[in-house]
Amino acid sequence: MKRFLDFISVEKGLAVNTIESYKRDLKSYICYLKAQNIADIKSTSKTTIISYLLLMQKSGKASSSISRACAAIKSFYHFLARERYIDEDPTINLGTPKLEKKLPRVLTVQEVERLLEQPDTTDPLGFRDKTMLELLYSTGIRVSELISLTVDDVNLDMGFLRCFGKGSKERIVPIGSFAISYLRQYIIHIRNQLIKDKATNILFVNHKGKALTRQGFWKIIKKYARKAGINKEITPHTLRHSFATHLIENGADLRAVQEMLGHADISTTQIYTHLTKTRIKEVYDKTHPRA
- Which candidate in 142, 191, 241, 246 is catalytic? 142
Give CA–CA dist 155/211, Å, rounded: 20
Say whether 24 is catalytic.
no
Angle 245-248-254 from CA coordinates, rounded to 5°:
115
Give CA–CA dist 59/51, Å, rounded: 12
Say whether 246 is catalytic.
no
Give percent of the chain above pLDDT 90.
50
- Which candidate in 74, 222, 237, 279 is catalytic? 237
- Which candidate in 130, 240, 241, 246 is catalytic? 240
- Which candidate in 52, 77, 182, 272 is catalytic? 272
Give the residue from 244, 206, 249, 226 showing the smallest Cα distance to 115: 226
Say whether 142 is catalytic.
yes
Domains of the chain: 2-82 (1.10.150), 109-287 (1.10.443.10)
Cβ pair 242, 112 in contact under 8 A? yes
Lowest mean pLDDT among 56-65, 251-260, 280-289: 280-289
Say whether 240 is catalytic.
yes
- Which candidate in 166, 184, 210, 279 is catalytic? 166
pLDDT digits (tens, 9 = 90+) for 173-187: 999 999 999 999 999
Q: Write down the pTM of the prediction.
A: 0.67
Say whether 263 is catalytic.
yes
Could you tell me the pLDDT band of residue 275, with boundaries at 50, 70 and 90?
Answer: low
- Which candidate in 23, 105, 162, 263 is catalytic? 263
CB count in 10 Å sphere of residue 168: 10
Give CA–CA dist 17/199, Å, rounded: 26
Mean pLDDT of 122-144: 95
pLDDT digits (tens, 9 = 90+) for 29-38: 999 999 999 9
Instruction: Please give the backbone phi and psi of residue 26, each rounded to the nearest 5 degrees, phi first.
Output: -70, -35
User: Per residue in 151-162, is it b (16+ CB within 10 Å) or e — as a string?
Assistant: eebbeeeeeebe
Is the pLDDT score of 258 beyond 60?
A: yes
